[in-house]
Amino acid sequence: MSPSAETASGDDVEVPNNKSRVTVVGSGNWGSVAAKLIASNTLKLSSFHDEVRMWVFEEVLPSGEKLSEENVKYLPGIKLGRNVVAVPDLEHAVRDANMLVFVAPHQLMEGLCRRLVGKIRADAEAISLIKGMEVKMEGPCMISTLITEQLGINCCVLMGANIANEIAVEKFSEATVGYRENKEIAEKWVRLFSTPYFMVSACQDVEGVELCGTLKNVVAIAAGFVDGLEMGNNTKARQSAAIMRMGLREMKAFSQLLFSSVKDSTFFESCGVADLITTCLGGRNRKCADAFARNGGKKSFDELEAEILQGQKLQGVLTAKEVYEVLRHRGWLELFPLFRTVHEICIGRLPPTAIVEYSQS
Amino acid sequence: MSPSAETASGDDVEVPNNKSRVTVVGSGNWGSVAAKLIASNTLKLSSFHDEVRMWVFEEVLPSGEKLSEENVKYLPGIKLGRNVVAVPDLEHAVRDANMLVFVAPHQLMEGLCRRLVGKIRADAEAISLIKGMEVKMEGPCMISTLITEQLGINCCVLMGANIANEIAVEKFSEATVGYRENKEIAEKWVRLFSTPYFMVSACQDVEGVELCGTLKNVVAIAAGFVDGLEMGNNTKARQSAAIMRMGLREMKAFSQLLFSSVKDSTFFESCGVADLITTCLGGRNRKCADAFARNGGKKSFDELEAEILQGQKLQGVLTAKEVYEVLRHRGWLELFPLFRTVHEICIGRLPPTAIVEYSQS
């Protein structure tokens, strides 16, 4: 990664118009890995401009290092590629791009979108790698919908096993691109992300794919609670299986109640059962929830996030709250005991052991 | 369980014709648990005759005890219910029954069916709890089809988490009844098996349900191999997830290639993903495969079955062989690397570590 001031491929260089220009909006753990994947492909594929801009929310670390110089905070030791250009100015970062990759923390997305209105190309296409939803008075709004509504551009999603550090070291992973109508654009995103160790396929069900990616983190929190409780290995295996099976059931029911267009077959894509199993057996949602249960709920998620995630927010905990709001608002609390119980444990209303009482029924 | 000679509800007692009479054909571990479930319901439901006959392949144990007296071999310490009548004579066991529950070892089924021709009621309905298939020159034949073809009667299937010992001690489990056309019969089987701790539902896809129940045992063998290898916990979790996700993919592809009628939605029933996860995280297929890998493949499955299963055959190992025969015969070996690798490890052609090499790709 090079700070933009030092790169040879700066603003003044003319590039052919038919080449796509990619900007990654976000530079956390997953954003940096996405930039790495993309940058390896733009070098190889002639339809893309080599340079990948990455908008970096500028932070000066205690050591005096700037995040735009090396992503020492979120992905230390991983080379993103010399063609990744860190750009601290948002407007500058997105100005020329016709392919925008959104991977910022989802609680920042509304504000980000507001800042981007009128600043992006009219022909831009977007993809969201963000898990979560905005809960508003009029109902839940998926992040892809937020982007489309606020910026007036089409938005696909890419969801898969959220274990960025494993992808960073090139362990095999899978993901699914969800799209609404334009299959060609979906296939372009597939080409941009696919590598020999990152297998991507397309699926015409944007809400289904996005909800799989989002809701699986809530189930992973439940699986983590089970892992952190004192139980024999056999009981633990039984309980984990029960959690995954009930989690899948609630994920599917919740998605199809919210969007009747969500297809059964989407759950067989990489973003579905496969990712659910991977995330429940590994990943940071499971890990932090395990630590939460081990401490008997006496250490809050805020504290654990500070310790284990260097202050990044745990997606599953946020999503559990959002899902709970939807359930409460629609009168569905009784229909989704697992989702409900996870949130009530997260906020300390129930003890971590409640996950087991629930999953026996 | 009472030996038939001593029961008060023997042959001479007249019962109203409209009450269904149930016979369980098979008395192993799972057969005994099935008899226990059924017997608790026939006492409660007025549409069934109280007595449940269970055909017991008579064995005299080294201790001098007869299996027809107490199922000390396969289910010691578990009371099956006083209305379960053990009958060593096959013809006598099935004579009056209009509901036949098949739960014998599947390699005995062809012979058993031949012995039953002309001995059963013309209006009998059957259900098969048997996992596996008969591989013949003309192609694979599911056990339910074998029963229908040889005996000329309709046959449903019941498949679910195959952890009989847990159901025996009344831990919560789930199962699916697969049926071909007659939904009323399927619902009658559901009533006969359902208890507060055993949740049963019906699904119109007999081949799909039967193949889920059958093929998941092959995946569980693969999951067991992974567990038995020397690996860090994180790597193991990753590998288990990879095995389950590839296993699900091969289960679905194999089922739908063999029977185009198999529905996607069947994999969301209890017999599908739910049972796959449960079986891969627990159960005896996983357990024995774990032991096999721990021994570096130096102890054969025959030896392990003798040690761990008191000589019962491991279903997944038999099924892996059957599936391999189908793959080889149809030229599909390249399409199903997981199924293929499991069999090649089971027969010693590949080392247990081959499961990992495969699941990385």
Average pLDDT of the residues in A316-343: 95
Average pLDDT of the residues in A279-303: 92
Q: Can you point out the beta strands (E) in A13-132?
A: 20-25, 48-55, 84-87, 99-102, 125-128
Mean pLDDT by 10 residues, chain B (361 residues): 46 62 91 93 96 83 61 64 91 96 91 96 97 82 96 96 74 91 97 93 97 96 94 81 92 96 93 91 90 94 88 88 94 96 96 81 44
Q: Contacts of residue A282 in chain B, CB cutoff 8 Å?
A: 234, 237-238, 241
- Do B244 and A277 make contact, defined as CB atoms within 8 angstroms? yes
pLDDT at residue number A172: 81
Return d(Cα A209, Cα A176) in angstroms, integer: 7
One-letter amino acid for residue B152 of the chain: G
| Sign for the pseudo-dihedral over CA of A244, A245, A246, A248 | positive
pLDDT at residue number A133: 87
Burial code (b: 16+ CB inside 10 Å, e: under 16) for A16-26 equals eeeeebbbbbb
Mutate to test the interface with A, among B199, B238, B267, B276 (most CBs of A within 10 A): B238
Closest residue to A281, CB basis, from B240, B267, B270: B240
Angle CA B306–B312–B316, to nearest 5: 105
Q: Contacts of residue A249 in chain B, CB cutoff 8 Å?
A: 268, 274
pLDDT at residue number B74: 58
Q: A35 and chain B: CB distance < 8 Å anywhere? A: no
Kindly indicate the confidence band of residue A7, based on its pLDDT and cuts at 50, 70 and 90.
Answer: very low
- Whether residue A5 is predicted with pLDDT greater than 80 in this model: the reply is no
- Whether residue A8 is predicted with pLDDT greater than 50 in this model: the reply is no
Return d(Cα B309, Cα A150) in angstroms, integer: 62
Return d(Cα B206, Cα B318) in angstroms, integer: 21
pLDDT at residue number B95: 96
Return d(Cα B103, Cα B112) in angstroms, integer: 11
Q: What is the DSSP letter of A195?
A: B
Contact B123, B98 (CB under 8 A): yes
pLDDT at residue number B90: 95
pLDDT at residue number A276: 93
Contact A190, A200 (CB under 8 A): yes
Name the least confident of A69-83, A152-166, A218-232, B212-226: A69-83
Return d(Cα A248, Cα A276) in angstroms, integer: 8
| pLDDT tens string A73-92 | 556 666 788 899 999 999 99
- Residue of B129, B245, B146 whose CA lies nearest to B189: B129
Q: B10 and chain A: CB distance < 8 Å anywhere? A: no
| pLDDT tens string A231-257 | 877 788 888 888 998 999 999 999 999
Torsion of Cα atoms, B355 then A212 then A357 then B239, to 10°: 10
- Residue of A90, A131, A326, A334 whose CA lies nearest to A216: A131
Integer angstrom CA distances of residue A286 from A124, A162, A251, A276 = 36, 11, 17, 11
| pLDDT tens string A121-152 | 999 999 999 998 888 777 789 999 999 999 99
pLDDT at residue number A1: 55
| pLDDT tens string A22-68 | 999 998 888 989 999 999 999 999 999 999 999 987 666 667 665 55
Average pLDDT of the residues in A270-279: 91
Q: How many residues does chain A have?
A: 361
pLDDT at residue number A308: 87
pLDDT at residue number A11: 45
